[in-house]
Protein backbone atom coordinates (compact mmCIF):
# COMPACT_ATOMS: atom_id res chain seq x y z
CA UNK A 1 0.00 0.00 0.00
CA UNK A 2 1.39 3.41 -0.98
CA UNK A 3 1.96 6.02 1.70
CA UNK A 4 -0.37 9.04 1.37
CA UNK A 5 1.78 12.01 0.35
CA UNK A 6 1.00 15.71 0.20
CA UNK A 7 3.15 17.52 -2.38
CA UNK A 8 3.46 21.30 -2.45
CA UNK A 9 4.92 23.65 -5.05
CA UNK A 10 5.45 26.99 -3.27
CA UNK A 11 6.13 29.68 -5.85
CA UNK A 12 6.56 33.43 -5.68
CA UNK A 13 2.81 34.09 -5.83
CA UNK A 14 0.95 30.80 -5.50
CA UNK A 15 1.00 27.45 -3.75
CA UNK A 16 -0.02 24.41 -5.80
CA UNK A 17 -0.68 21.13 -4.02
CA UNK A 18 -1.50 17.54 -4.83
CA UNK A 19 -2.54 14.74 -2.52
CA UNK A 20 -2.86 11.05 -3.34
CA UNK A 21 -2.45 9.19 -6.61
CA UNK A 22 -4.55 7.69 -9.39
CA UNK A 23 -8.33 8.15 -9.31
CA UNK A 24 -8.22 9.42 -5.72
CA UNK A 25 -5.85 12.32 -6.38
CA UNK A 26 -6.87 15.74 -5.10
CA UNK A 27 -5.26 19.00 -6.14
CA UNK A 28 -5.66 22.69 -5.62
CA UNK A 29 -4.06 26.11 -5.57
CA UNK A 30 -4.09 29.11 -3.28
CA UNK A 31 -2.46 32.52 -3.38
CA UNK A 32 0.32 33.02 -0.86
CA UNK A 33 -1.40 36.13 0.46
CA UNK A 34 -4.25 33.85 1.55
CA UNK A 35 -2.02 31.93 3.96
CA UNK A 36 -0.20 28.61 4.02
CA UNK A 37 -3.11 26.19 4.49
CA UNK A 38 -5.85 25.47 1.97
CA UNK A 39 -9.32 25.60 3.56
CA UNK A 40 -10.23 22.57 1.43
CA UNK A 41 -7.95 20.35 3.51
CA UNK A 42 -10.40 18.50 5.72
CA UNK A 43 -10.00 16.14 8.65
CA UNK A 44 -9.98 13.06 6.39
CA UNK A 45 -6.84 14.26 4.64
CA UNK A 46 -4.04 12.60 6.59
CA UNK A 47 -0.71 12.58 4.76
CA UNK A 48 2.12 10.45 6.08
CA UNK A 49 4.70 12.46 4.15
CA UNK A 50 4.83 16.09 3.03
CA UNK A 51 7.23 16.94 0.19
CA UNK A 52 7.87 20.56 -0.71
CA UNK A 53 9.40 22.58 -3.51
CA UNK A 54 9.75 26.15 -2.27
CA UNK A 55 11.32 29.33 -3.57
CA UNK A 56 9.76 31.35 -0.75
CA UNK A 57 12.91 32.01 1.29
CA UNK A 58 14.08 31.02 4.75
CA UNK A 59 11.66 33.08 6.86
CA UNK A 60 8.61 32.10 4.82
CA UNK A 61 9.67 28.45 4.81
CA UNK A 62 9.90 28.50 8.60
CA UNK A 63 6.34 29.82 8.77
CA UNK A 64 5.23 27.13 6.32
CA UNK A 65 6.84 24.37 8.40
CA UNK A 66 5.13 25.55 11.58
CA UNK A 67 1.74 25.75 9.87
CA UNK A 68 1.99 22.31 8.26
CA UNK A 69 3.35 20.51 11.30
CA UNK A 70 0.66 22.05 13.48
CA UNK A 71 -2.03 21.01 11.00
CA UNK A 72 -0.84 17.50 10.16
CA UNK A 73 1.76 16.59 12.81
CA UNK A 74 4.02 15.18 10.08
CA UNK A 75 7.64 16.24 9.43
CA UNK A 76 8.12 18.02 6.12
CA UNK A 77 10.75 17.27 3.50
CA UNK A 78 12.20 20.02 1.32
CA UNK A 79 13.67 19.19 -2.08
CA UNK A 80 17.09 20.71 -2.83
CA UNK A 81 19.00 21.34 -6.02
CA UNK A 82 21.99 19.00 -6.25
CA UNK A 83 24.82 18.43 -8.67
CA UNK A 84 23.32 15.26 -10.09
CA UNK A 85 20.34 12.93 -9.90
CA UNK A 86 20.72 9.81 -12.02
CA UNK A 87 21.66 10.85 -15.57
CA UNK A 88 20.70 14.49 -15.02
CA UNK A 89 23.56 16.88 -14.29
CA UNK A 90 22.96 20.47 -13.13
CA UNK A 91 24.59 23.08 -15.35
CA UNK A 92 25.09 25.68 -12.60
CA UNK A 93 28.62 26.22 -11.32
CA UNK A 94 27.06 26.27 -7.85
CA UNK A 95 23.92 24.07 -7.92
CA UNK A 96 22.68 25.48 -4.61
CA UNK A 97 22.06 28.80 -6.41
CA UNK A 98 19.58 27.27 -8.84
CA UNK A 99 15.90 27.52 -7.95
CA UNK A 100 14.65 24.15 -6.80
CA UNK A 101 11.48 24.50 -8.88
CA UNK A 102 13.57 24.64 -12.06
CA UNK A 103 15.61 21.63 -10.96
CA UNK A 104 12.52 19.57 -10.20
CA UNK A 105 10.97 20.47 -13.54
CA UNK A 106 14.16 19.28 -15.24
CA UNK A 107 14.14 15.99 -13.31
CA UNK A 108 10.50 15.38 -14.21
CA UNK A 109 11.18 16.34 -17.82
CA UNK A 110 14.00 13.82 -18.12
CA UNK A 111 11.79 11.08 -16.71
CA UNK A 112 9.16 11.94 -19.32
CA UNK A 113 11.43 12.35 -22.33
CA UNK A 114 14.77 10.63 -21.66
CA UNK A 115 16.22 12.78 -24.42
CA UNK A 116 16.89 16.40 -25.27
CA UNK A 117 14.22 18.80 -24.01
CA UNK A 118 13.48 22.38 -23.01
CA UNK A 119 11.43 23.41 -20.00
CA UNK A 120 9.50 26.67 -20.23
CA UNK A 121 8.03 27.71 -16.88
CA UNK A 122 5.76 30.74 -17.17
CA UNK A 123 4.87 32.39 -13.89
CA UNK A 124 5.89 35.51 -11.98
CA UNK A 125 9.23 34.92 -13.66
CA UNK A 126 9.55 33.11 -16.98
CA UNK A 127 12.37 30.57 -17.09
CA UNK A 128 13.80 28.44 -19.87
CA UNK A 129 16.10 25.50 -19.17
CA UNK A 130 17.88 23.45 -21.82
CA UNK A 131 18.84 19.79 -21.39
CA UNK A 132 20.74 17.78 -24.00
CA UNK A 133 20.29 14.15 -24.93
CA UNK A 134 22.81 12.96 -22.34
CA UNK A 135 20.93 14.61 -19.47
CA UNK A 136 23.28 17.56 -19.10
CA UNK A 137 21.61 20.83 -18.19
CA UNK A 138 23.01 23.38 -20.65
CA UNK A 139 21.90 26.43 -18.70
CA UNK A 140 18.90 28.66 -19.04
CA UNK A 141 17.31 32.08 -19.03
CA UNK A 142 15.24 34.01 -16.48
CA UNK A 143 13.12 36.96 -17.57
CA UNK A 144 10.09 38.74 -16.11
CA UNK A 145 6.75 37.02 -16.62
CA UNK A 146 3.79 38.76 -18.21
CA UNK A 147 2.39 40.32 -15.05
CA UNK A 148 5.84 41.33 -13.77
CA UNK A 149 6.58 43.08 -17.06
CA UNK A 150 3.30 44.98 -16.98
CA UNK A 151 3.72 46.02 -13.36
CA UNK A 152 7.29 47.19 -13.96
CA UNK A 153 6.23 49.26 -16.95
CA UNK A 154 3.42 50.86 -14.98
CA UNK A 155 5.76 51.64 -12.08
CA UNK A 156 8.50 53.25 -14.18
CA UNK A 157 6.52 55.32 -16.66
CA UNK A 158 4.44 58.44 -16.04
CA UNK A 159 1.92 58.09 -18.84
CA UNK A 160 1.54 54.31 -19.05
CA UNK A 161 -0.64 53.60 -16.05
CA UNK A 162 -2.37 50.29 -16.63
CA UNK A 163 -3.75 47.61 -14.39
CA UNK A 164 -2.04 44.23 -14.69
CA UNK A 165 -4.69 41.78 -15.79
CA UNK A 166 -4.98 38.50 -17.70
CA UNK A 167 -4.81 38.78 -21.47
CA UNK A 168 -7.72 38.39 -23.86
CA UNK A 169 -5.95 35.87 -26.08
CA UNK A 170 -5.34 38.26 -28.98
CA UNK A 171 -1.79 39.31 -29.86
CA UNK A 172 -2.56 41.66 -32.73
CA UNK A 173 -1.42 45.27 -32.19
CA UNK A 174 -3.56 46.93 -29.51
CA UNK A 175 -6.00 49.75 -29.98
CA UNK A 176 -5.58 51.26 -26.50
CA UNK A 177 -2.75 51.70 -24.02
CA UNK A 178 -3.99 48.78 -21.96
CA UNK A 179 -4.13 46.50 -25.01
CA UNK A 180 -0.74 47.70 -26.27
CA UNK A 181 0.93 46.93 -22.95
CA UNK A 182 -0.81 43.62 -22.35
CA UNK A 183 -0.36 42.26 -25.86
CA UNK A 184 3.15 43.63 -26.11
CA UNK A 185 4.21 41.82 -22.94
CA UNK A 186 2.73 38.54 -24.18
CA UNK A 187 4.10 38.97 -27.70
CA UNK A 188 7.58 39.68 -26.34
CA UNK A 189 7.50 36.52 -24.23
CA UNK A 190 6.15 34.34 -27.05
CA UNK A 191 8.86 35.59 -29.43
CA UNK A 192 11.55 35.12 -26.79
CA UNK A 193 10.53 31.52 -26.17
CA UNK A 194 10.28 30.64 -29.87
CA UNK A 195 13.64 32.17 -30.79
CA UNK A 196 15.39 30.61 -27.80
CA UNK A 197 14.01 27.18 -28.70
CA UNK A 198 15.10 27.58 -32.31
CA UNK A 199 18.64 28.61 -31.34
CA UNK A 200 19.07 25.66 -28.99
CA UNK A 201 17.86 23.22 -31.58
CA UNK A 202 20.35 24.60 -34.11
CA UNK A 203 23.25 24.76 -31.67
CA UNK A 204 23.82 21.04 -31.30
CA UNK A 205 21.46 19.45 -33.79
CA UNK A 206 19.10 18.73 -30.94
CA UNK A 207 15.50 17.96 -31.78
CA UNK A 208 14.25 18.93 -28.37
CA UNK A 209 10.88 18.24 -26.84
CA UNK A 210 9.29 21.42 -25.52
CA UNK A 211 7.62 21.14 -22.10
CA UNK A 212 5.53 24.11 -20.95
CA UNK A 213 4.35 24.68 -17.39
CA UNK A 214 3.44 27.51 -14.98
CA UNK A 215 0.51 29.79 -14.29
CA UNK A 216 0.65 31.54 -17.69
CA UNK A 217 1.41 28.37 -19.63
CA UNK A 218 -2.01 28.05 -21.24
CA UNK A 219 -2.18 31.69 -22.35
CA UNK A 220 1.32 31.81 -23.83
CA UNK A 221 1.45 28.33 -25.34
CA UNK A 222 -1.69 29.09 -27.36
CA UNK A 223 0.53 31.31 -29.54
CA UNK A 224 3.60 29.06 -29.82
CA UNK A 225 4.46 27.66 -33.24
CA UNK A 226 6.80 24.82 -32.15
CA UNK A 227 5.04 21.64 -31.02
CA UNK A 228 4.90 21.43 -27.22
CA UNK A 229 3.51 19.44 -24.32
CA UNK A 230 1.56 21.29 -21.66
CA UNK A 231 2.52 19.81 -18.27
CA UNK A 232 0.82 21.85 -15.51
CA UNK A 233 2.27 19.84 -12.60
CA UNK A 234 5.84 19.39 -13.80
CA UNK A 235 7.38 20.70 -10.58
CA UNK A 236 5.13 18.52 -8.43
CA UNK A 237 6.06 15.55 -10.63
CA UNK A 238 9.72 16.25 -9.94
CA UNK A 239 9.27 15.84 -6.20
CA UNK A 240 8.85 12.09 -6.60
CA UNK A 241 12.20 11.98 -8.45
CA UNK A 242 14.14 14.10 -5.95
CA UNK A 243 12.42 12.64 -2.87
CA UNK A 244 11.30 9.12 -3.84
Return the pLDDT at 10: 96
Return the pLDDT at 197: 92
pLDDT in tens, 193-221: 999 999 998 887 677 899 999 989 998 88
161 and 215 in a common domain? yes
pLDDT in tens, 178-190: 888 888 889 999 9
Residue 86 included in any domain: no
Residue 92 included in any domain: no
Residue 163 included in any domain: yes
128 and 48 in a common domain? no
Return the pLDDT at 182: 85
pLDDT above 80: residue 163: no
Residue 85 included in any domain: no
38 and 137 in a common domain? no
Q: 56: which DSSP letter?
A: S
Q: How far apart, in Å, are the Cα atoms of 244 and each of 7, 96, 236?
A: 12, 20, 12
Q: What's the pTM?
A: 0.91
121 and 74 in a common domain? no
| Catalytic positions | 101
Confidence of residue 167 (pLDDT cuts 50, 70, 90): low
134 and 31 in a common domain? no
Return the pLDDT at 161: 58
Return the pLDDT at 164: 53
CA atoms in the 13 A half-sphere facing the CB of 41: 21
Residue 177 included in any domain: yes
Residue 9 included in any domain: yes
pLDDT averaged over every residue in the chain:
90
pLDDT above 70: residue 157: no
185 and 122 in a common domain? yes
69 and 150 in a common domain? no
pLDDT in tens, 109-155: 999 998 999 999 999 899 999 999 999 999 999 999 988 888 887 76
Tally the domains of the chain.
2
Residue 105 included in any domain: no
The range of the structural domain enclosing residue 209 comes to 115-233
Q: Distance between CA 123 and CA 1 in Å, rounded? A: 36
Return the pLDDT at 159: 59
120 and 220 in a common domain? yes
- Domain with residue 40: its CATH number is 3.30.420.40
Residue 33 included in any domain: yes
Amino acid sequence: MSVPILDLDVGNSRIKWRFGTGPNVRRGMLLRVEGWLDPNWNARMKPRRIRISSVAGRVANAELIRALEARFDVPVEFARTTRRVGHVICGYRDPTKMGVDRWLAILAGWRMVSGSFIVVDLGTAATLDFVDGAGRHRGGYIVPGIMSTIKALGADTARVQVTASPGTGALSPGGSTIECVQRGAERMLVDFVEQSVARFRRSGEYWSSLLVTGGDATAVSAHLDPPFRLVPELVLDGLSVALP
